[in-house]
Structure 1
Amino acid sequence: MPYVVQGDGELLLFVHGSLCDYRYWQPQVSGLSKHYQCVAVSLTHYWPAAGTPADMPFSWSRHADEVAEFIRRFGAGPAHVVGHSRGGCVTFHCARRHPRQVRTLTLADPGGPLQVAGRPPAKLPEPVNALRARAAQLIEEGDLDAGLQLFVDSVSRPGFWAKSTAAFQRMAIDNAHTLARQFRDPLPPYTPEEAAQVRCPVLLVDGEKSPLMFRRTAETLASWLPDARRQTVNGASHGMNLAHPAAFNRYVDEFIRSAGEGRAG
């Protein structure tokens, strides 16, 4: 996986979500590299190595294992891992499957449905699936702007795409080819049993204005995980680390330091 690295200290690894790549974390890599060795990766299939073979599976499960393998090969782990949106689900399963590679885990608006006991198998609501299918169709037809606007506004808030910076829009356009593949690889539901397998300290971060599904997931996971705490970035929606990077960076730094004090104690 392509990556950027800055700073010295304990390894702090950032994993992006939908339509993004390592550029998404620039405010975190710059701001936190004073205290950590910050590494942001681009998952397989994403820019700048977007030309993967058509027969190479696009898989959240493979991504989870690849993140663990990256940490192992990088040689500075275990890592403090931060995942956003779809990347939150990827890193959740990375920490569950590969506990030796993950020292702490920060999940920012983690993506994926919740499986609550006694309820039917969890899946995204049909209107959401229909919207995503339409977004993928528009992109495959060449209408990138309309397709990206439809999807990005649905996971943040109406009007977010139009107000996004040119850099964010360029990044999303560079990764638009992943969206249809992503929809064919739906994220698995979170379960209490799997949450109990994540033994490292976990910080759950949501945005005050994030869509309800993300805030509900953060709240529920906080009650399921063995060692969890929560923070909310005021005034922010789904892209809280970009909207208010100073607050987001402070929460991550304070969490890692407090987790380290707990280990020392």
Structure 2
Amino acid sequence: MGPSRPLAKALGGHFTVYSYDRRGRGESGDTRPYDTEREVEDIEAVLMAAGGEAFVWGMSSGAMLALMATTRLPGITKLALYEAPLIVDGSRATTEADWAAIRAAVAAGQLGEAVRAFLKSVGMPGLLIALMRLTPIWRKLKAVARTLPYDGAIVAGDQLGKPLISGRWASVTPPVLVSDGGKSPAWMRHGNRALAEALPNASYVTLAGQNHMLKAKAHAPVLVDFFNRQP
């Protein structure tokens, strides 16, 4: 679950929360070769465990995965997305070279380099990356580094600096909440605003003072309000 664990705990006082580790992470196994369809099937399995219908939340690449699942699974009755990493204009460089470097590092077994390349691609300063190497979190990041190309498989096609294709998500008719952080970079906010505009039944909110480092205290009340809201 990673950074979403505190959020799951905060939501647990309002809803029955089902959470899981994505493929190759935490307690979940892995099936190779990787295919995004297997990840959609994982979400379907959680839906079935929840009785066949559920509200779904996802952040970053998980937000795009949840959106992908909603086009296939009618049991998703509401969808909340936080900071899907879309690049829809020229406000930052595209990521083709970044994902290629990450894949190459993983293939060579250079997991620390894969983590460094990933953090650089999301805009983390080099000095901060160097400092992170000295902290316990670096070991945790290396432990999941083999799955970084999975994130690329989900999001890379939407990081090409091009506008979203009109009508692409026309089948996503459940209510959707798209949110981002007020301290996040312009490219992230541009992408999420464009995503909300591209969905047929979406609302968009910016969380003041927040960024890509999820804080449950700020995010949970917004989700409780959205999930409890009547159609």
Is 1:71 the counterpart of 2:42 in the alignment? Answer: no
| Structure 1 spans left out of the alignment, 5+ residues | 1-21, 117-123
Change (3 A) 1:142 1:61: closer
Q: How does 1:33-44 map to 2 (within 5 A)?
A: 33-44=12-23
CA contact (8 A) 2:111 2:146 kept: no
Q: Distance between the aligned counterparts of 2:223 and 2:153, measured in 1?
A: 32
Is 1:129 the counterpart of 2:96 in the alignment? Answer: yes
How big is the shift at 1:44?
2.3
Q: Distance between the aligned counterparts of 1:164 and 1:222, measured in 2?
A: 36
Partner of 1:89: 64
Partner of 2:145: 176
Change (3 A) 1:163 1:253: farther
Alpha-carbon displacement from aligned partner over 1:72-95 (angstroms, at most 9, x marks no partner): 2x0434111001111111110111
Normalising by structure 2, report the TM-score. 0.80
Partner of 2:122: 155
Alpha-carbon displacement from aligned partner over 1:201-230 (angstroms, at most 9, x marks no partner): 000011223243332221112112121111
Matched residue of 2:188: which SS? helix
Partner of 2:33: 57
Partner of 2:208: 234
Q: Distance between the aligned counterparts of 2:106 and 2:113, measured in 1?
A: 8
Q: Distance between the aligned counterparts of 2:153 and 2:194, measured in 1?
A: 26
Q: Distance between the aligned counterparts of 1:41 and 1:155, measured in 2?
A: 24
Query: Which of 178, 183, 189 is residue 209 of structure 1 equivalent to?
Result: 183
Matched residue of 2:145: which SS? coil
Change (3 A) 1:246 1:86: same
Normalising by structure 1, report the TM-score. 0.71
Question: How much is the aligned-residue C-alpha RMSD, in angstroms?
Answer: 2.9
Alpha-carbon displacement from aligned partner over 1:163-212 (angstroms, at most 9, x marks no partner): 69957544422211112455466654453323221010000011223243
Matched residue of 2:172: which SS? coil
Deviates most, 131-140 or 224-233: 131-140
| Structure 2 spans left out of the alignment, 5+ residues | 159-163
Q: Distance between the aligned counterparts of 1:110 and 1:70, measured in 2?
A: 21
Identity of aligned residues (%): 22
Paired positions, count: 222
